[in-house]
Structure 1
Amino acid sequence: MPSPRPPASPPLPDLGPRASDALLRLIADSVPVMLAYYESTSLRCVFANQRYAAFSGQTVQSIIGKTVREAIGEKAWQEILPYVQRALAGESVQYTREYAGPQGRAHMLEISLQPHFGVREGRNAMVGAFVLINDITHHWEAERAVRQSEERMRKFAIATEEGLAFHRDGRILDANEALQRMVGYSLAELVGQSIFDFALPEYRALAVEYTRRGSEKPYELAMRHKDGRVIPIEVVGKTMPQQEGDYRVVVVRDITARKQAQEQARFLVLHDTLTQLPNRRHLMMQLARMASAAQERQTRAAVLFIDLDHFKTVNESLGNQAGDQLLIEIARRLQDGVKATDFVARVGGDQFIVLLPDLANRAAAAEVADALLARVRAEFAIGGTPLSLSPSIGISVFPDDGYSPDELLRRADAAMHHTKESGRGTRMFYEPGMEGQPTELLQQEHLLREAVFQGAFALHYQPQVRVADGRLVGFEALVRWRHPVRGLVGPDEFIPLAESRGLITPIGRWVLHEACRQLKAWHDEGLPRVPVAVNLSAIEFRQRDVVGEIAQVLQSAGLAPQYLEVEITESALMQQADHTRTTLQALQALGVAVTVDDFGTGYSSLAYLKRYPLDKIKVDRSFVTDTPADSEDVAIVTAIIQLAHSLQLQPVAEGVETAEQLALLRRLGCELAQGFGIAPPMDAQRAREWLRAQAE
């Protein structure tokens, strides 16, 4: 039985033929859709508004009387025919269709076919159909962009090894598989939980405040794995706006490898790789602390300088491996022979230092020295061969023999040498006169002061190149003293004296002015524009208005800030942290790059590398010299390079002398290098010629 037809539409108010037509036309042309009416039997257009006619490439007058097929074309007709047939059967039809516009741009149309019923031949029947077309391209493109974005995010979330979490007000909405693996929880276990609960308690307040402020800078914290392990992580959050409420995307990186590299680098820099004892750098830090504590508590402390007698004979007769085993055993005996509060270090070769804090008197130091003599003299068995050694021990006492770490160590060393001269195998306290007279030192100070007054200095320039292709990237300016007797003298031989006698500031100012003047002269000649690096001592960095002076010198020389780099030691960074941070930030704002020079030879605290705005780390030449033959030095160089990369700093290797060293650095990913194997430091004229040759 056929379904009943809808009742006929009520007639429009009778406004008169002309008024009704005009009103209908006004309404039809005003609505923001395409509108047409087709007669049901012939499918010819009876009415169309301007939007519909223009869309079909016609006018209102030209489209009237045309069939649907004629109005829209054969291709479109074949596409919509199934919908037309449904409408002719009396069904209200809605569908969407993609349409290529005049310039080929894709449009999306939303089409509604509404049957119109009226009285025909005395009965209610379908007389025509209304066509309403809405261009929904804008909404379609927006929805497609959202879908594509979500699909890209889904693919990225699957592919990346970084953890991704989505949360609103701290409640986890979703997480990728990488994060699930990282924390050990399934997605079902994560969703709905507070993201802050996964951070260790000591970091939760930090995480909550970070989210509250909507911060988007990376920061470090630690979380606990489901199995109880603590995982160090780096987190970056970003707020994503949505109509139903903003949510946060959190990127979580497992930085366990970075932390391990930092710890490895810290250990290697502060410890002897053979005996695992603290090394000289660690010793000087501990000696300074011991002297400060002894002065504060008004107690005595002692330094024991231990040198093994005739140790060279062991290496020559049994080989280096036997010698290494012997040193390891001696280190163990020394540690076992002192209290837990005492300090044992190996400072090189067959030399060891023992620090004894909180001594009641000098006799207590003698008792420890005698006990250690007995321990070391006891027979060793190395590779089945019995060995006997005797040590010579020199002792200095705080405050009797000095206050500073350098004085105490130097005088213990002098006492040890007097012990060897007096027959070896015993111990001796320092006595005045063991170090000799300071006449030569006073003479050198006098000559250096004259050199400052006369400007008797010169700058040599050592090229710094890119390891990958040998391309020149800059120069380091190295100061030389024109000594009246010895000729050109390197900085290692007079800078310590200048620092101790208050002469380093005028020398540093001269170096800065001359380096900037010379580099600007080369630039004006049309030579390659590369930066020059100058060294600042810790004293200069602390006492001078470094930023103000550099800005003034750059302006005076007419040199752009990006062509000047400053190299500072670790000790400069470790002092007056607030002043240091302010100075480095001001240098960064000025556009001057900062390099940590001789990394690994100072205090070696790694915290400042992340805390301060730095650009490069220089691997000290002492670590490079014996590579690639020395596996211990290779390990240190590798650790420093990896540490630099993890902190997004450029590693620079000093002291490169051989092609093998350069090849090793290339394999390790070291970016920059300098050394005699690349080019020696050159005076200004030879550096200019070298620079010109690079430009050809």
Structure 2
Amino acid sequence: MDSGAITSLLRHPLPSAMLVLDADGAVLLANSPARALGLDQSASRYAPLLADLRQRLREGETAVPCSLPGPAGRLDGWMRAVADDAGEAVAYTLSVPEPDGASRWQAALDSAGHGLWDWDVAGNRTFRSRSWRAMLGYEAGTGGDVLDEGLDAALALVHPDDAGRVRERLADHLEGRTPTYVCEHRLRHRDGGWRWVRDSGRVIASDANGRPLRMVGTHTEIGTQKQLEQRLRDQQQLLEETQRIAGMSSWAWDPANDLVWCSPELRSLVGLADEAAGSRAWVRRIGRRSAGELRKAWRRIRQEGQLARFEVELPSDAEPDGLHLLVWAQPQLDAEGNLQRVLAQVQDVTGQRRIDALIRSRTELLARVSALGGIGGAEIDPATRRMQWTEECARLHGMAPGPVLLDEVLALYTTQSREAFEAALVRAADGGAPDRVEGCFYRGNGERVWVQVVVELDRDERGPARHIVLFRDITRERETSARIEMLSHYDPLTGLPNRGLLRRQAEEALAADAGESRLALLLVDMDGFRSINESFGHGAGDAVLKASAARMHQCLGAADLLGRLGADEFVVLLREASDRAAVAEAADRLICALGEPLHVGTETLKVGASIGIAVRESPGDGFDDLLRAAGVALSAARHDGRGNHAFYTREALQQARRRLKIQHALRGAVDRDEFSVVYQPLVHVDSGIAPGIEALLRWHRPAGGHCGPAEFIPIAEDCGEIVRLGDWVIAEACRQAAAWDEAGLRFGRMSVNVSAVQLRDRGFAERVIARCRQAGWPAHRLELELTESALVRDTELLRDCFDTLQSHGVSLAVDDFGTGFSNLHYLNRFPVSRLKIDRSLILDIQRSAESGDLTRAIIQLGQAMRMQVVVEGVETAIEEQLLREHGCDEIQGYLYTRPLPPREMAQWLRSGVPLRAPGLTADPQPAPLVVC
């Protein structure tokens, strides 16, 4: 710019102030605006600044921005060089914008809350506006000049935590890496506090090499904004924490652009990568069971524009049962009702569903336990008597679930139970402890139910008081208790009083009698009951006992007592017996009734009874005395033959005592070698030889006198010793037979008597075969003689026994035929080869034609059934002759010999001639050996 141009500019009015300075910085010219601003007078004050500017112009810059102090603040302008023709700077111009425009600019910044700063980068000087200073509490006259220092002084006001970031952002802009400089940081206020500012600016002048020369910018106080941001952050953190605790997350869908936004919580929850956050990937993972719910929700959202609430299930590796998400989807519509977006809140209810499932499972378990235990619960409002109860409680009462009035329930109860229930409610309401009562009610179908009721008053501060009631079904307990009570006093099979109750009733009757009437106690024993039990089973035996009890009850008067003592023994107490004849008549009625055939299933069974009778002779006789006496009389009745009754006498007592002594003496008699075997031959009628020998048992008691088989064998059967005793006899007979056979003594078979007891013993047949084998005696030369009663019961056990014996050749004979249940029919069912007729049938054969005809008929029938017939007890030659004429096969008896010890029997066999001794009468015919 030359001098002419300068003169022209100064002459014409300009809106800007202008100064012309010489080469040393002195003012040469000033126009009116410059003088108005006092620039011509204050130029000397900023001479150092102008010197720096002139130096920059000399270094090649054409215009340098400057900021000068003015009367109302800083004045921003430009300094330019005025060169001569040689290009040397001869003067300088300083132009400042129109003061009014600068004021408007400054006012606009101040009103916007912006503080202006201007940084002379090259000179490291900064200018700050008045509003900038006021922002930090530095008003005019409060040390504002201190702020006109360089960058370091400005950075000293920055918070230490923010200073590094400010330097980094400033360096990025100065070095050209960012188009603008922006940084939010804190500045120290004059009061020592910190103020948040938004610092922004840019380089507005650079030299030819691109180095920044001037940078201007603003500070905007953002303290309020930061507070709002902090509040938003706090609220966001609170929301996130709340959602985290509640398992909440969110998503949004923009249908126009088909964009989906998922919150980080949702992405983390469903396992979505960040790149898939904007897709529907998680929706496609919804299981089939949830697809229908999702379609319904979409329909509600798109067609109805309504909030949709639905639950979806997603597969998850972390959750075996999958993720359960509860979704609230709210559509947002425009004014025309078009869908703009969908906002959704998602709650993870997996844990809740797991808890629900656990609660449901435990509730079901509790319901099952309650049902199994018959336990129901209820709540009762004391004011309204309205009752809420569990399903089990309703089921227990036979009513429908749901609310019900207490009075409707109590209507089912008995009067006594209802009163007890109401009293328990009153006691609980008065503050008493939990009360327990028992009561019963009847369901609609008439079924009686017993319950235990526990009542308690619950005083809850959050609500009104209420009765808590627990009902427990104790019907089974009551029935069991009643059954136990019955079993403790009554026989469960027959329903009759048992020993304990019978004793009490009898003692009461005896005490009430006081000797005014004759009382009689009858001990009834069932004859043949054991064989029925063993042959047909306990079921048949039980049926016989029940039928027998009913029959006896029909034979008695209303005042008489009947009870079951045990097993097959019953007790009858006759309270109105006038004399012994009336007692005997009552006993006969009982025996007759019990002797009638019984039909059990397809079987027709017959039992009898033996009765022992004890009549009360004095008031001092108690129940035990009478029972003991009746037991003695029963033994006497049995001794006289089954199906009889006997009164207690001293003779009966002595007989009972003798039986007891014999029973004790039998114990161990085999081990003490007190038994021996004698033998009696059987003689063939035609040849006179001995086809067989019968073994007969004898007992040699060291003390106690004579005791024949007819006496001790039944006792041995009753006490069980007969099984062991019989095994010994079979072993001894086989041993002796083998010894004779080895000695050359010839005879056909060895016969041994056995009874029903022995046949019913399991393993009997096997033991017989074993005894033969041990003795070396062929089993086919052994014959077992059975009583008729042993064949009456056709049982599987008996058939198995006979099959085993027959398979080894052991033959069977029926002994004493004609004295028992004489019936040829049962002989067809068993492998019997020989029939032995008892002597009682031939006693009158010499004098009675009828007796002879009967004997002949039996012999012919036996032979017709392919059995050989033997007659026992033959003592005379006439009897022998008649039997020969009747066709008898074999004869046994004293006609030939009495039973002989082994040595004498051997001599008899050696003689080879039958020994007839009709004159022998001193030794009566012995009873046959009966092995049981």
Q: Name the larger-Rg structure.
A: 2
Shorter-chain TM-score bucket reads 0.3 to 0.5
Q: TM-score, normalised by structure 1?
A: 0.42
**RCO (CA 8 Å, sep 6+): is it higher in 1 or 2?**
1
Q: TM-score, normalised by structure 2?
A: 0.32
